[in-house]
Structure 1
């Protein structure tokens, strides 16, 4: 069962045992308190004998704790590292390079929106160099029921069913034409952090005349790839 996983690790380079140890830690999901050996085997693809050997090292490092019922829980060292990460993390360091690259590749303005209750807020913005463009500033508060970013934030905030979530992901980006104002168009994708928690919406926007079907078809895979990249950076899951 673990042979394919091990082949992948070897082909990618690095230290195989370390790759497998991190795969065990990555098997824990939001809501898990402890996992049995069988559950870890199912999620990682490793034999139980392999898991037991690696668990000893992870326990020694404080990354796993073996519970009295023989299940495994994440250890104190994971919490300590998580706290260090939170204290050192600055969202703008990760978002701004993505926005700049989107502007470079598409020629249109790029924004990152966050939902704040019934509205959306532009947290970060990179303007297009083109003389005619839409005008949004960082800190602007916009309606949630208009615009591609608003639709993304609404759809993924209320989605709880995984099948529905996969359907939404398969039909990205969401597109708006003339909703916020008659001359503006936008395409948008979600960004996730810490698993499947919605972090925000990554958006490309500009004059409606430039957002033709053919141009949207060109920009869409660029935006989806950027959303997936930022999601990975933030520790989210795009699936």
Structure 2
């Protein structure tokens, strides 16, 4: 079990650096509850294989190697090999920012995006995550793919704005409404003034394998919701055909 524990600790350190930025060994030890000597050994190993790099001020940051690894990981997922072109077409038709996200544990991970012609202050970007209780992508995956009972029992739900859903009853009701209408609605629940809509993407067997979403100014999303959902479905159909052909 010892090697597995080392990997778990390394994953905790990498996850911390990915969200907090450069930190000192002391700061890492305090935040992930690992003894400082163990942190030094982990960082020595991570530095040696190029996953982290030391800074002159004794802090450590993630290395640029992660960009290469992310590109290679995405390229290896053959089901999404033509996804970016679909996102570009979707943005051309709608003007809003388009996202392709997948479920990972209790989060929606952005696989790819194409920025719209409007705002540039959106939280979700490739490689970044949002919890399943917030955002169109997360709430799509919560409704159509995740085990909602396990999620509500085990997750820590972060509140981004006053409109973020965190209560069990609210999230169950939202998931049921999302399934009934066929799409999720995010109305300023991640960023004030920003809205989004999302729909599931399915495999040939009908299993939900991702979420396709559009985000922009909340007023614009609300005013054009029916058209945007129709465009999402058109693009999801193309993604599903691509998956079937992969």
Q: Which has the larger radius of gyration?
A: 1
TM-score, length basis structure 2: 0.52
TM-score, length basis structure 1: 0.53
Match of 1:229 in 2: 238
Q: Matched residues in 1 for 2:234 and 2:145: separation?
A: 21
Quote the offset at 1:234 in angstroms. Answer: 1.0
Give the secondary-structure state (helix, strand or coil) at the position aligned to 1:155.
helix
Match of 1:218 in 2: 227
Match of 1:192 in 2: 202
Structure 2 matches for 1:5-154, cutoff 5 A? 90-131=78-119, 134-154=122-142
- Contact 1:148–1:175 (CA<8 Å) still a contact in 2? yes
Match of 1:173 in 2: 183
Give the secondary-structure state (helix, strand or coil) at the position aligned to 1:129.
coil
Change (3 A) 1:139 1:158: closer
Q: Matched residues in 2 for 1:168 and 1:180: separation?
A: 17
Q: Which moved more, 1:190-199 or 1:132-141?
A: 132-141
Which runs of 5 or more structure 1 residues have no equivalent in the other structure? 1-86, 160-166
Change (3 A) 1:198 1:131: closer
Q: Matched residues in 2 for 1:182 and 1:143: separation?
A: 17
The alignment yields a C-alpha RMSD, in angstroms, of 3.0
C-alpha distance after superposition, 1:132-180 (max 9, x if no partner) = 5535321011111111111110111158xxxxxxx96662222110111
Change (3 A) 1:203 1:131: closer
Change (3 A) 1:88 1:185: closer
Give the secondary-structure state (helix, strand or coil) at the position aligned to 2:241.
helix
Change (3 A) 1:145 1:89: closer
C-alpha distance after superposition, 1:98-136 (max 9, x if no partner) = 100110000000000111001111010100123555353
Which runs of 5 or more structure 2 residues have no equivalent in the other structure? 1-74, 148-176
Match of 1:67 in 2: none
Give the secondary-structure state (helix, strand or coil) at the position aligned to 1:211.
helix
- Contact 1:113–1:201 (CA<8 Å) still a contact in 2? yes
Q: Which has the higher contact order (CA 8 A, sep 6+)?
A: 2
Quote the offset at 1:190 in angstroms. Answer: 0.6
> How many residue pairs are counted as aligned between the two chains?
145
Q: Matched residues in 2 for 1:88 and 1:116: separation?
A: 17
